[in-house]
Amino acid sequence: MPAQYEHGGERRVALVTAAAGAGIGAAIARRLADDDYDVVITDAHERRCGAFASQLADEHGREFLSMPLDVTDFDAVDAVTRAVVEKRGRIDALVNNAGWSRIEPVAEMMPDTWLRCLDVDLNGTFYAMRCVLPHMIARGSGAIVNISSIAAWETTAEHGAAYSAAKAGVLALTRVAAAENGRHGIRVNAVAPGLIYNDFLRRIYPGAFFDGYAESRSLVGRVGHPQDIADLVSFLVGERAGYITGEVYGISGGVAPNA
Ligand SMILES: NC(=O)c1ccc[n+]([C@@H]2O[C@H](COP(=O)([O-])OP(=O)(O)OC[C@H]3O[C@@H](n4cnc5c(N)ncnc54)[C@H](O)[C@@H]3O)[C@@H](O)[C@H]2O)c1
C-alpha cells in the first residue's frame, strides 16, 4: 500500500532546516521526499532554498514548499511554522539540521563566535521545537530528530568549545523534550555524526584533520557521507522507530562511540 494512504490519504509533512546546503540537510530532504513525505525546504540561503525545491519537484513530479528561514530569528521560525500548518495542515516530522561553527581556542575565542554558534546550533533547535511541538501535541503525533555531533562528548580540541557546548546542549534539549512529549505521541531523538564529508569542511578544518582519517581513525575505512545520516533520520522519523525516543545515535564509523 503506498505510504500516503496509511495517513488519512494525505502525505506526511516534514520540515527540514538548513536543507539547501551541500551536505546533510539536502540529503535528508531528498531521502524524505523519496519516502513520500511532503518536504518543506527551509534554509537561510534564499536562492538555494528555491532552487533545491524546484530540483526536487522535477525529480519527484510534485511540488515542494520552499521557505527561506534563518533559525536564529524566533519570529521567522514562528511565521514559517504557521505558514506550513496553514498550507499543509500538519507537520509530522521536524529535522533540526542547521549548524554553524568557527574553531577558536577558548582562551582566544571572540564572544561573537560563542554567541553565534550557540544561537544557530542550540537556540535555533529550541526555536523550531518550541514552534512545532504545539501543533504536534494538538494532533497527538510527531517525530523530531535533532542533528548534534560527536563533538558533544569527544575530548578534543578539533571542533572548538562553542560547537561542542552547543551540540551537547542539543542532546539535553532532546532528552527533556522526549520526556515531556512521549505521552502526546511524539518522539524526539538526536543523531550525532562524526566526519561527514563536504567540500566546505575542507575549508574550516585544518588539512591534518582529514589526512589519514579514513585509514587511521574510521573503523570502516572511509569517511561518512550525507546519505549515511539521511538513512538513519529516515528510520527515526518513521513508524518502525515507534519504540525509540530520547535516544542519541552516534554515526561516526566507530570513531567516537557514545556508550
Ligand atoms: N559535516 C559534518 O562532518 C558534521 C558532523 C557532525 C555534525 N554535523 C552537523 O550536521 C548539520 C549539517 O551539517 P553539514 O556540514 O552537512 O551542512 P549542510 O550542508 O547540511 O548545512 C549547511 C546549510 O546550513 C544553512 N544555514 C547556516 N546557518 C543557518 C541558519 N542560521 N539558519 C538556517 N540555515 C542555516 C546554510 O545556508 C547551508 O545551506 C549541522 O548541524 C552540523 O553541525 C555535521
pLDDT in tens, 210-248: 888 888 999 999 999 999 999 999 999 999 999 999 999
Strand order in the sheet with 66-68: 66-68, 38-43, 13-16, 93-96, 142-147, 186-193, 248-251
Q: What is the mean pLDDT of the chain?
A: 95
Residue 5 has pLDDT above 70, yes or no: no
Catalytically annotated residue among 37, 127, 163, 249: 163
Phi, psi angle pair for 40, to nearest 5°: -95, 115
CB-based burial label for 74 (10 Å; 0-12, 13-18, 19+)? middle
Mean pLDDT value across residues 167-195: 98
Q: Would the pLDDT of 203 be above 90?
A: no
Domain ranges for the chain, please list them: 9-251
CB under 6 Å to ligand 1: residues?
17-18, 20-25, 43-45, 48, 69-72, 97-100, 120, 124, 147, 149, 193, 195-196, 198, 201, 226
What superfamily does domain 9-251 belong to in CATH? NAD(P)-binding Rossmann-like Domain (3.40.50.720)
pLDDT of residue 171: 98
* pLDDT attached to residue 10: 87
Task: Give me the pLDDT at residue 207, please.
Answer: 81
Best CA proximity match to 100, nearest among 80, 124, 78, 77: 124
Q: How far is ligand 1, taken at its centre, from the CA of residue 196, in Å? A: 11
The CA distances from residue 254 to 23, 162, 217, in Å, are 20, 24, 8
Of 26-35, 183-192, 207-216, which gets the smallest average pLDDT?
Answer: 207-216
Does 163 qualify as catalytic in the annotation?
Answer: yes
CA torsion angle for 203, 205, 207, 208 (degrees, to 10)?
180
Report how far ligand 1's centroid is from the alpha carbon of 17 (Å).
9
The best mutation among 97, 127, 154, 252 to test binding of ligand 1, ranked by most ligand atoms within 8 Å of the C-beta, falls on: 97
Alpha-helix residue ranges (DSSP H) falling in 147-198: 161-181
